[in-house]
Chains A and B, each alone.
Chain A
Amino acid sequence: MRIGDAKQTYLADEAIWTSNTQKIWFALLLAALLAFPFMASSYLLYLGCLVGIAVISATGLNILTGYTGLISLGQAGFMGVGAYTVAWLSNNTALPFPVTLLAAGLLAAAVGILVGLPSLRVKGLYLAIATLAASVFLHFIFAEWEPVTGGMEGQSLQPAHLLGLEFRSDFAMYFIILPLAVLALLAAKNLFRTRVGRAFIAIRDRDISAEILGIPLLKYKLMSFALSSFYAGVAGGLFAYFYRVVTPESFPLSMSIFYLAAVIVGGMGNLLGGILGAAFMTLVPEALKLLTAVMTPIWPNAPVFMSPMLEIIFGALIVGFLIFEPHGLAEIWRRIRRFFHLWPFRS
């Protein structure tokens, strides 16, 4: 049982850590995340890295779609920009990974601003389709601009390095991905305590009212696009370092839909939702693989049905969450917490 905390100042209301309990839990979580690679099998470690990358990208999309209310079908394209930037830089220069990742983020942000430009005139679904057009163009550029991107075959790249250290294994990559994911989340959390972040939320709730309140729409919408694609670019760069090969097919439209689905399943406009959604959507296919492996001795045809099953489950999750749990996993999490807060008195 926990008693509610009365907040007496705005500062206290705005604080990220509202209680010592919360701080302790967070420290424990961090410790567990740091200890994870030392105990986990290589498969779990691989999954952990994937989830980390997905969390960064989903958080970026959450800023744009969940907090600013601009739907984007271009997330995979922005990730591709980041991945190709990292690939090109690692093959043609000797820059260490912090620099290449930053460059990936900045270039993706620049592309994001370009894509966001129509957002002044069109919004809602028209904007979604503008971002869809952008992802078609980006895919075209990845496939056709051979001197830089390597064409349809894509290109492989050198492992990430910093100060003579090489990050070749999943184990090493985990220690790049985890801090970046935590940093990305903290930055996002702080963003929504500032003027900029609140302007985003105001635009989401009603853009015309926001404009009347003195928020320049174009500037803030573009900022949201830039931030979101910066996250996507960094995630794409990590993706490139993680797989060490980049092809145009690494970033299909279905990946953009995947991230949109992750944000929806997790809970739009909720950072915890982005984390839960990204982790959940990454792990569902793996759980299904596991189930298939278990089923195969009993039912030899199981592997044939796995990939269609995955499509069906993926679609059913999107539809089911939107109809029955529109606030996503974050809302379920909140309900569970409330149950324990109020436990002996009300259940």
Chain B
Amino acid sequence: MDWLFFGEISLAGLAMGGLYALIALGFVIIYKATRVINFAIGEIMMFAAYLFLAFAGGMEMSPWVAVPLAVLGGALLGGVIEKTMIRPMLGESPISVVMVTIGIASILVGLVEMIWTSNPQLLPSFLPREPVFIGPMYLAPKIAYGFLIGMSVLVLYLLYFRFSRGGVALRATASDQAAAYSMGINVRRVFNLAWVFGSLAASVAGILVAATGGLSPQFGIIGLSVLVVVIVGGLDSILGALIAGVFIGWLETVAGAYLGGEYRMPATFAVLAVILVLKPYGLFGTHEIERV
């Protein structure tokens, strides 16, 4: 076995996993606060990445302007989706809400194809290009810097939730909606905030992933990998999302490198199946207790 090759692949996988963790964080924020499983998260990422393409490629803005604008656009999209399409579904069965997000995903794909055609596109490069070496192991610069940016956003998020007013409101709503409401927290705004923040995290990750791998209307497939991540980690656990994100990213890349690209999805879904059978609520998820 070639350990150097394995190391390099693992490193790339771990870096990719960091981005998965960031997306999964966005997913978990939305789930924790609003109990909505967001199947459209991959498409929100895609939309933000296309916005970046439009700003940086089409209008030739500097990446320093284009990235924040695109990320804000993605966050705004999340907020609008919540206000117009998720809010009316409040109190409906989870199945219906999931189907709404699937419908939203389809609408977003259609919009993107309409505006930017269905051809694959390359993002203008905005990350440094010097190769990165960790010891003897080479890591593609896009992936390395993507990982660094993703991680810093992730840390910012964690700090925000720990210390800021909005973050505390969000956590309070997640742990007990009625109590939060009676303590004067504007639960509706928190719902909206959760979608905005969740989409924001997804948008950052979307631009970074698209910068390494290119962009097409099929980009949203990545949402399926993220689904695996959050189920394995436990739907309502941020810690679980982080650990499972890194693990699934690593597994996917290693399986792709050693067994071939067609094994990527089955490998991660095999982990998913095992977890579902052994620990149905994920590694770190809260066990739901049903009372009749």
Contact = CB atoms under 8 A, between A and B. Distances in A.
B114 A312 contact: yes
Interface string A124-162: 111011101100110010011000000000000000000
Contact of B277 (A121, A124, A137, A260): A121
A143 B280 CA distance: 29
A318 interface: yes
A42 interface: no
Contacts of A130: 273, 276
Interface in B131-181: none
B292 A322 contact: no
Contacts of B270: 137
**The 4 nearest A-B residue pairs measured at CB:** A311-B110, A315-B106, A318-B103, A312-B110
Contacts of B92: 322, 326
A144 to B, nearest CB: 7
Nearest to B96: A322
Contacts of A315: 102-110
Contacts of A206: 292
A318 B113 contact: no
Contacts of B231: 126, 129
A314 B103 CA distance: 7
Contacts of B262: 140, 143-144
Interface residues of A, number: 44
Contact of A322 (B94, B103, B117, B269): B103
Contacts of B113: 307-308, 311
Given A129-B231, A308-B110, A318 B99 contact: yes
A335 B214 CA distance: 50
8 contacts: A118-B277, A126-B280, A130-B273, A144-B262, A309-B110, A312-B107, A312-B111, A319-B100
A209 B272 CA distance: 30
Contacts of B227: 129, 132
Given A71-B98, A316-B107, A323-B89, 5 more contacts: A118-B273, A143-B262, A206-B292, A311-B113, A323-B85
A44 interface: no
A310 interface: yes
A305 interface: yes
A307 B112 CA distance: 11
B118 interface: yes
A156 to B, nearest CB: 23
Contacts of B37: 125
Contact of A125 (B94, B103, B105, B110): B94
A86 B252 CA distance: 34
B272 A129 contact: yes
A209 B292 contact: yes
A323 B87 CA distance: 10
B90 to A, nearest CB: 11
Interface string A20-55: 000000000000000000000000000000000000
B94 A136 contact: no
Nearest to B271: A133
B265 interface: yes
Interface string A245-278: 0000000000001001100100000000000000
B276 A122 contact: yes
A326 B265 contact: no
B266 interface: yes
A284 interface: no
A37 B158 CA distance: 64
Contacts of B184: none
Interface of B: 37, 85, 88-89, 92, 94-96, 98-100, 102-114, 117-118, 224, 227, 231, 262-263, 265-266, 269-270, 272-273, 276-277, 280-281, 290, 292
A152 B92 CA distance: 41
A307 B292 CA distance: 47
Contacts of A140: 262-263, 265-266
Contacts of A313: 110
Contacts of B272: 129, 133
A317 interface: yes
Contacts of B99: 260-261, 264, 318, 322
Nearest to B101: A319
A305 B113 CA distance: 8
Contact of B276 (A126, A304, A317): A126
Contacts of B114: 305, 308-309, 312
A314 B106 contact: yes
A143 B263 CA distance: 11
A16 B54 CA distance: 59
B9 to A, nearest CB: 21
Nearest to A70: B95
- From B103, B107, B114, residue with most partner A Cβ within 10 Å: B103
A200 to B, nearest CB: 16
A208 interface: yes
Contacts of A308: 109-114, 118
A315 to B, nearest CB: 3
A303 B54 CA distance: 24
A2 B106 CA distance: 43
Contacts of A118: 273, 276-277, 280
B110 A129 contact: no
Nearest to B272: A133
- From A65, A261, A312, A317, residue with most partner B Cβ within 10 Å: A312
Nearest to A71: B95
